[in-house]
Structure 1
């Protein structure tokens, strides 16, 4: 980002504004380039001659030179994850496109993901015309946890701040569970209530969406509270007698559409109430995750989790008709869908395998603290819950956790026994890596694995999806 922007234009009209405010013609002291101050006396207004006063070009700063600083930061180890016996290093590569020399500083500051300062290092930087510089940054060893590194570059004509996150022994980062004593009973009772709702399944082939390779079906069913929810099922025309299934769950208020690019799986994409073609199943104003937040029994996510269970009911009911192999049923989701996948696997043993990318809401107590420390003001579904507490005197943090402890994926994790693949991005502002890993470390699965994207925010790198594809195939022993 360049310095002194707009100063030259300011010099043209600033004196006229000052005259209107100060008819004696004295311009107040202004800082010059070196930080000292000076006072300039302008002539009093003259009716015959109204000559504008222009600040000297030196004081106005002149035109900024054109260019940019291209910064590349490479971590060692590359993944950004290491043992407490190791130290992390960064190679900071600077490349200037400016045709002038620049001097300045690179400040490297390390804090915990709760915002507590750990260490700081300062490096002198000199860049020639279109010059380059490499700075090797070695940081001291740390205890298990997650750490933010700020690289603050301050040069003659350029300022910028880049951030990285690294984790030390993430498998040893444990937060205590706050699982209510009647947690399991609450969800067993919820399933019992759902079972009393007649599903009234309706499955309709969509000729306009189907192709020579895929049959597409609109699926409709009655769910929690007798609300009608919908989804899309895609089945390869050429298929074996029994095929594995991917059951895909939606992100936060995301519309799920038919999946047309998977030839080895039956794919069922559900739109829970309020999403996509199930939007009419929920009438609400305001934020989705605040709907009935004052009531555990009526809260939106009780209904949403039961919508996901009802989707499993559908797959079981039509397993013979469509050749669905219930023993090879993978639940797949990202963001909110990742949280739903973990919760569903903890509620229902019919889930045989889970892949969860960047699961939202995990370990809400920790997620709120990390988000407030590292990403203040960053709006997200987690932020919305915290903001509601801040703006609602009658609904304090204690009340929020008393409700949310029934819905937090971390409390479902010990009940999850199937294989789980978790994808985490270290710079994720919506789902902090500490929150995801503390949930992961509570999983009851014997087989579990993580994929880490070290330099991305709320997304995973493309190669993850190739890995995920073969991970599912391996889990189901597919050719």
Structure 2
């Protein structure tokens, strides 16, 4: 009897929100400082995918181990390159296995571009290898399926490869004519809300090496939001800053393992210790989705700007170096980092991993073709349209064109490091590159994890560390 094994393991970075207990703090609150005026911007791990080495089938009569490797390993090609893969099988079946290996390639939008079948057989307790060469393709990202159908064994292995990703453009970029006026007006409205900063040292979480402060401030609609500032006790007179923004409904806690930066972790409304700043039911990203002006992400984007206001207001007090402020985020946090850099030129560097919502118009189409049952934030938007016929896709895009990171990207002038995972089922690599290719930055770079889903490989973080130090010219 044939057996099906689908062994692509999914690792998701979107951590559930954690219950946050109120910490014991000293009553020695640091007085609020005045907020400087903000000039308007000119409008000009390891649960990694085991797909690199498929797990054995576990059948009592025998096992199969399949390895599929791209050449080059990054699975990125130029337009005129042949796409090459090695397909290796090791069998512990006690009988010869024979049948077909079929190769099917679709675009990430679901269009078939290539199909071919090969005779394939493996001797008992044997192994077999096949080199597969595929004709060159146009710029874009593609799903390739290796479908093995043998006497007693069936399996399908999936990969994604890219061709000339730096040439990828969004199918449609629709930036509203009043986009800049809308966001300049939002910042003006925010500037009229007194931040009422409150900074309290958290004695319980502070250590001999680290000072931890609870940060509180008033933001959009006068909501009270919070975050954590962590500083090395022994630090230079001027210390660079990492401003970390949260993933989708992720609780940000103090960062205790960074000795070279002041680290400010902001919980935007509805997250972590800012959870009570937003009352909502249902999905977070559907809050006020029928209103451009009241949509949840207008307030969230302004929360991020208010966080920059805090860093600026307390730069002298804590010795924060405003010329070296790096904004860091993954998934939704990456989206927020790009948006903030487009809104606020006090951001001097961005590292963005797997940016959620980038090029939403294409992401809405790609999700159902590659991962139809992944209930990601983009799936939630798509599902809302499908279930509420009065709220059409046209209405969704009319709203999200004001919020899509791709429309903020041209205003980003600071250096950007973008990390992309090719098997990412939440943030399609095509959409990440479409946004990346719109950035106004003179210095920008990508890091690609070819065989992972919504995560990056561990070596990225070492690269990120040195990239930030090199960009900021730190010792």
Matches within 5 A, 1:270-281: 270-281=266-277
- 1:380 matched to 2:373: no
Q: Give how far 1:144 is off.
A: 1.0
Task: Name 1:129's counterpart in structure 2.
Answer: 124
> Does the CA-based 8 Å contact 1:2-1:64 persist in structure 2?
no
- 1:99 matched to 2:89: no
Counterpart secondary structure, 2:103:
strand
* Residue 148 of structure 1, aligned match among 132, 143, 152: 143
> Does the CA-based 8 Å contact 2:358-2:431 persist in structure 1?
yes
- 1:195 matched to 2:191: yes
Task: Name 1:414's counterpart in structure 2.
Answer: 410
CA distance in 2, matches of 1:443, 1:3: 47
Q: Give how far 1:164 is off.
A: 0.8
Task: Name 2:167's counterpart in structure 1.
Answer: 172
- 1:341 matched to 2:316: no
CA deviations over 1:120-152 (Å, ceiling 9, x no partner)? 121222112221110111000111111110011
Task: Name 2:221's counterpart in structure 1.
Answer: 225
Task: Name 2:44's counterpart in structure 1.
Answer: none
CA distance in 1, matches of 2:187, 2:440: 21
> Does the CA-based 8 Å contact 2:4-2:153 persist in structure 1?
no
Q: Give how far 1:177 is off.
A: 2.0
> Does the CA-based 8 Å contact 2:212-2:231 persist in structure 1?
yes
* Residue 67 of structure 1, aligned match among 62, 65, 88: 62
The higher-RCO structure (CA 8 Å, 6+ apart) is 2
Task: Name 1:426's counterpart in structure 2.
Answer: 422
> Does the CA-based 8 Å contact 2:4-2:155 persist in structure 1?
no
Q: Give how far 1:68 is off.
A: 2.1
Q: When the two structures are aligned, how many residues end up with a matched partner?
A: 422
CA distance in 2, matches of 1:154, 1:378: 26
CA distance in 2, matches of 1:3, 1:224: 56
* Residue 455 of structure 1, aligned match among 426, 434, 451: 451
Task: Name 1:238's counterpart in structure 2.
Answer: 234
Q: Normalising by the residue count of structure 1, what TM-score does the alignment of the two structures yield?
A: 0.86
The verdict on how the C-alpha distance between 1:87 and 1:258 changes in structure 2, with shifts beyond 3 A counting, is same
- 1:321 matched to 2:324: no
Q: Give how far 1:106 is off.
A: 1.1
Q: Give how far 1:410 is off.
A: 0.1
- 1:216 matched to 2:212: yes
Task: Name 2:432's counterpart in structure 1.
Answer: 436
Q: Give how far 1:2 is off.
A: 5.5
Counterpart secondary structure, 1:332:
strand
Counterpart secondary structure, 1:346:
helix
> Does the CA-based 8 Å contact 1:422-1:451 persist in structure 2?
yes
CA deviations over 1:295-340 (Å, ceiling 9, x no partner)? 0000000000000000000000100010100110000000000000
CA distance in 1, matches of 2:148, 2:4: 17
Q: Give how far 1:101 is off.
A: 2.3
> Does the CA-based 8 Å contact 2:2-2:151 persist in structure 1?
no
CA deviations over 1:240-276 (Å, ceiling 9, x no partner)? 0000000000000000011111110000000000001
Q: Which runs of 5+ in 2 are unaligned?
A: 6-57
Q: Give how far 1:97 is off.
A: 2.4
Task: Name 1:3's counterpart in structure 2.
Answer: 3
Q: Give how far 1:3 is off.
A: 3.0
CA distance in 1, matches of 2:401, 2:232: 41
CA deviations over 1:179-234 (Å, ceiling 9, x no partner)? 00000110010011111111111111111111111111111111100111010111
Task: Name 1:253's counterpart in structure 2.
Answer: 249
Please identify runs of 4+ aligned residues in structure 1 that moved more than 6 A.
none
Counterpart secondary structure, 1:189:
helix
Larger C-alpha radius of gyration, 1 or 2?
1
Task: Name 1:27's counterpart in structure 2.
Answer: none
